[in-house]
Amino acid sequence: MPLHEKSETAYAEVLARNPGEDEFHQAVREVLESIGPVLGKHPQYTDAKIVSRICEPERQIIFRVPWEDDQGRIHINRGFRVEFNSTLGPYKGGLRFHPSVRLGTIKFLGFEQIFKNALTGLPIGGGKGGSDFDPKGRSDREVMRFCQSFMTELYRHIGEHTDVPAGDIGVGGREIGYLFGQYKRITNRYESGVLTGKGLPYGGAQVRTEATGYGCVFFVEEMLAARGESFDGKRVVVSGSGNVALYAMEKARQLGATVVACSDSDGYVLDEKGLDVELLKEIKEVRRERLSRYPETVSGAVYVPGRRVWEVPCEVALPCATQNEITGKEAEEMVRGGCTAVGEGANMPTTPEGTRVFLEAGVAFAPGKAANAGGVATSALEMQQNASRDSWSFEYSERRLREIMRGIHARCRETAEEYGMPGNYIAGANIAAYTKVADAMLSLGLI
């Protein structure tokens, strides 16, 4: 899709100033493609160069992370924190520990986080961080030593009123615990609100573990309801088998769907009777084993190595693994297989070509910045509880999450209709979030 003439210069600047950062370029272009009608209607945004300002992070931090493994060998990793935009509140966004992490990855995720956080309606800005450290196969003590070294530098840049990290790929409750312990040790402050995703005994929130997966399903539930449908009886396929995927499967099953397949980096498991989510949790969260172990316990289930889960026919697809996992070719195959709804549980898991295929086929498509906002929304609820020294029940927290996701869906749907693109949740999400941030930036002056 061509860019609005007022976006072309800003996008050219992004390409020139951020060479080689393809994922960041992709995320920026997707937003700029949507907001052309906004720029034509509101010239004040162009006059104030909001697009150029919003595409440039307020602060980019890169640091060395030295640590020692159990054999006494020294390793050097690289740490990142991109504090992208604090117009609506303190920077908020997760930490990702994975070998693929580089500055461009973090900038793409941080840019998406600005708009995702704005859609929640909660007072949080956008940021992201992480490291190219791989926790897979490392002992608890090795992970602890890495996290302590990582936080020894990061602590000086964060705070409950400045920047509040959380978890992401490779950063779960274990890692958050080690990070928070080191922050408390260095600062001599029990500042609960400095990290979210904490364990329940030391300031964590109910539903935080489930939030991103549950929230994605809640958004898709609203999207289906707008078409007079529901999850009941739907055949669902999920990519990934981590935190987001597991709890998306759990909630989809609770709403009456049959989840038949999920994947890991080696292949996918197929169980036509419906996957046993409790067994998957045992395999992935407790035993930390590969999905290939699932058929050893469940008769009739098969593990298909070296293949992509999107070859399995489904009515609802929930990509919950990583970015750019659904190509145009795979999207075409999914449409032929009967897919009528897609909810992005991961960040930007569909390529631009795949997105075009879904939209042209009339598939109800929920972009990640809307559909997976449940995680950060619940993180903000955790911040509220920490600030008030309070603790909410699971039922109350889940009800709040569902209300937030229902509100995000309504904002996206109504905004798309307002700008003449009914049913286009990508345009609705981008425009609703952009105008909220842009208006706040105008109010704060040139800073």
The residues annotated as belonging to the active site are 128
* 6 marked ligand binding residue: no
Residue 29 vs residues 48, 54, 83: alpha-carbon distances, Å: 20, 13, 20
**Could you give the count of Cα atoms lying within 13 Å of 247 in the half-sphere of its Cβ?**
20
- 44 annotated as belonging to a binding site for a ligand: no
Nearest to 186 by CA among 152, 229, 209, 161: 152
Tokens of 258: 């049959």
Contact 260, 237 (CB under 8 A): yes
**198 annotated as belonging to a binding site for a ligand:** no
In this structure, are strands 316-319 and 341-343 parallel, antiparallel, or unpaired? Answer: parallel
Quote the tokens at residue 53.
């300002």
Report yes or no: 38 and 4 within 8 Å, Cβ to Cβ: no
Judged on CB neighbours under 10 Å (0-12, 13-18, 19+), 307 is middle
Query: What angle do the packed helices 22-34 and 352-360 form, to 10 degrees?
Result: 30
Question: Which residue from 40, 434, 375, 45 is spatially nearest to 213, judged by alpha carbons?
Answer: 375
Is 379 annotated among the ligand-binding residues? yes
Exposure letters 316-349 (e unless 16+ CB within 10 A, then b): bbbbbbbbbbbbbebbebbbebebbbbbbbbbbb
What are the phi and psi torsion angles at 42 (to 5°)?
Answer: -125, 80
User: Coil, helix or strand for 171?
Assistant: strand
The annotation status of 281 as a binding-site residue, yes or no, is: no
- Can you tell me the distance from the alpha carbon of 165 to that of 125, in angstroms, rounded to the nearest whole number? 11
Please give the structure tokens belonging to residue 399.
């009800």
> How many other CB atoms are found less than 10 A from the CB of residue 436?
19
Q: Which amino acid is at 404?
A: I
> Is 230 one of the annotated binding-site residues?
no
Residue 264 contacts residue 241 (beta carbons within 8 Å): yes
Contact (CB, 8 A) for 27 and 355: no
Q: Is 34 annotated as a binding residue?
A: no
Can you say which residues are annotated as belonging to the binding site? 92, 113, 116, 167, 212, 243, 379
Binding residue positions for NAD(+) = 212, 243
Pick out the residues of the known binding site for substrate: 92, 113, 116, 167, 379
